[in-house]
Chains A and B, each alone.
Chain A
Amino acid sequence: MSEAVAFLLQGGFDAVFSPLYWLLDLWSVLMSWLAGATGLKLLQYEFMHRAILVGLCIGVMAPLIGTFLVHRQLALIGDALAHTAFAGVAVGLFLNAVIDLGVSPYLTAVIVAMLAALLIELISEATDAYNDVSMAIVLSTGFALGTTLISINAGGLTVSVEQYLFGNLSTVTTQAAAILLVLFAIIIAVVAVTRNQLLYVTFDETAAAVSGLSVSWYNRIMVMLTALVVVGAMQIMGVILVAAMLVVPVAGATQVSRSFSEALLVSVVLAELSVILGIAVAFYAGATAGGVVVLVAVAIYALAVIAGKLQTVIGETARPKMDSIDAEATEQPGD
């Protein structure tokens, strides 16, 4: 019975993912060509091709969502969701061991993290504030559930949980990479469509509500997207460090940017730099990628702080003149 379910699920996924597998193959060919052209050892392995692709996607989606979170003082929600995603991974491993479902633990992680995201949002709506206590409770519940399920199941487990906790470049399977591409597409599409609304709600919640936006719905969308990013980024970054990618590049970009669009762009550039440098260093030094990526990101953040300070010192000279309020200049169409 359960094998039939597993078979159906597997077949369904394969049908959905086959174009993605083709895309991954194409990417691999491109990378191999690049490896031949540059002679970089880093680009010669197929698992590195996938890892780099996943890293590049993380470098776009994490700061993109992080920008909307950081400016609402929600920097830690990523951390909370990552720990519940770990519970999701444990559920997946558990189900696979018990009923042989054959589903990627990342898929169960997506589901559990999204439910947790909704829960956090609903709690905050009911109590009228994002309080760090409820966030801490969700975080520890998630992690506790994860460790419990895994310990119960320890005998039957063939997969090490270390790759989920700390991330791993070499364990990014084609299926996991395909899942990430789907998450990536969803996140980019939703942000592209609702960018105006997300910006308004992030900047000025009250004015956004007056202008007819359903603030709670956009908040729910935001936390669910965060859950997707967290699960997507977990493969390389690991549960414990994934939140850093949501926060650190955004904090760096805030130091040097003037406009919101500039801040978005700069945060993506900083994140990509951290990911590429981090993966390269991790590969040659034989270190865990997640840790190195975050260290690079923090170093870049420190540079951005210095650059921001210099910018204010240098830019202080220009003082534009403020015009008077012009009562006659109103040219609104007459009613």
Chain B
Amino acid sequence: MSADSDAEPTSGSPSSVRTPLIEIDNVDFGYTATPVVRDISLRIDAGEYVAVVGPNGSGKSTLMELMLGLLEPDQGTAQLFGEPAHKFDDGSRIGYVAQHASASKEMPITVREVVKMGRFPHVGFGRLSDSDWDIVDRALDTVGMSAFADRRVTQLSGGQRQRAFIARALAGEADLLVLDEPTVGVDAESVEAFYKLLESLNDEGITILLIEHDLAAVTDHADRVVCLNGEVYFDGPTEEFVDSDALARTFGAVTTTPGDAT
């Protein structure tokens, strides 16, 4: 599954399989004088299943925002599909599931209307066609939320809401799925099913980038682990990560034992 890293360097057409989907080069970023992330270089190729782990405040979400172009690096470059990340605007290629969704909390809107937004990058100013709606309904079905399609999102539990946002990302039919702690609030049983879903999406060639603090989920499913705490402590295949002492070094004294999935 892991793509070779000797692909030719960037530029060229974004659709070329060899172009890295994400390429971060010597990136520094800080909101104040103190940097949040330092000297990060990362490359993610098409078809990979990468997990970024690290303790709270390790800069995981900041790194993700840099990769997605929501933030611009203070130093270094961040590229998305071969373009500067902050200039990249082809939303149809990225699916995004936020941690505890940034979304409005009181707005009247149904689950189906939320999932529909996944199609917006494809339809632009136009209307959703019948096939767009089919994709929306299939995504709802995939996450087991068909019965809730006409429910108001504000009446759902945290886990149900999260499923709706996952369905929105699926409906986008993106090449790259970026998930920031997607299973927060989701019940344990569904979490397992959810990671299976990610695996089968990955088998179909979709690149998965997962930001997680649940180490068990990461070591069971991801092919590659990036361990982060301000800087990259480890970057390599999952098996090597499990055997290494990267975990102890990254998390310092307070270690979270792999396996305590909550």
Contacts and interface: CB of A to CB of B under 8 A. Distances in A.
B107 A71 contact: yes
Which residue among B108, B148, B160 has the maximum number of chain A CB atoms within 10 Å of its CB?
B108
A325 interface: yes
A235 interface: no
B12 to A, nearest CB: 17
A328 interface: yes
A203 interface: yes
B172 to A, nearest CB: 8
Nearest to B107: A71
B194 interface: yes
Contacts of A258: 108, 110, 150-152
A324 interface: yes
Interface stretch (B34-42, B85-93, B212-220, B225-233): B85-93
A162 interface: no
A335 B204 CA distance: 7
Contacts of A214: 89
Nearest to A209: B70
A4 interface: no
Interface string B196-232: 1101110011100000000000000000000000000
A305 B90 CA distance: 42
A322 B104 contact: no
A202 B104 CA distance: 8
A204 B109 contact: no
Nearest to B207: A335
A258 B155 CA distance: 10
A206 B70 contact: yes
B144 A334 contact: no
Nearest to A327: B196
A328 B198 CA distance: 10
Contact of B151 (A211, A253, A320, A330): A320
Contacts of A207: 96, 98, 101-103, 117, 168
B193 interface: yes
Contacts of A254: 106-108
Contacts of A218: none
A196 B116 CA distance: 10
Interface string B144-171: 1111101110000000100100001010
B94 A203 contact: no
B106 A71 contact: yes
B117 A203 contact: yes
B181 interface: no
Contacts of A213: 89, 91
A133 interface: no
A139 to B, nearest CB: 25
Contact of A327 (B91, B96, B178, B200): B200
A65 to B, nearest CB: 15
Contact of B175 (A259, A260, A335): A335
Contact of B108 (A197, A263, A322): A263
Nearest to A333: B173
A324 B110 contact: no
Interface of B: 46, 68, 70, 88-92, 94, 96, 98, 101-104, 106-110, 113-114, 117, 120-121, 123-125, 138, 141-148, 150-152, 160, 163, 168, 170, 172-173, 175, 178, 189-190, 193-194, 196-197, 199-201, 204-206
22 contacts: A196-B124, A197-B125, A200-B120, A202-B104, A207-B102, A207-B103, A209-B70, A211-B91, A212-B90, A214-B89, A258-B150, A259-B152, A263-B109, A320-B147, A320-B148, A323-B146, A325-B144, A325-B193, A326-B144, A330-B197, A330-B204, A335-B205
Interface of A: 71-72, 193-194, 196-197, 199-200, 202-207, 209-214, 253-254, 257-263, 320-335
Given A210-B94, A212-B90, A332-B204, 18 more contacts: A196-B125, A197-B125, A202-B104, A204-B103, A207-B96, A210-B91, A210-B96, A211-B92, A212-B91, A254-B107, A260-B110, A262-B108, A323-B146, A326-B143, A328-B200, A330-B197, A332-B201, A335-B204
* 7 smallest beta-carbon distances between A and B, as pairs: A211-B91, A323-B144, A212-B91, A212-B89, A320-B147, A327-B196, A325-B193
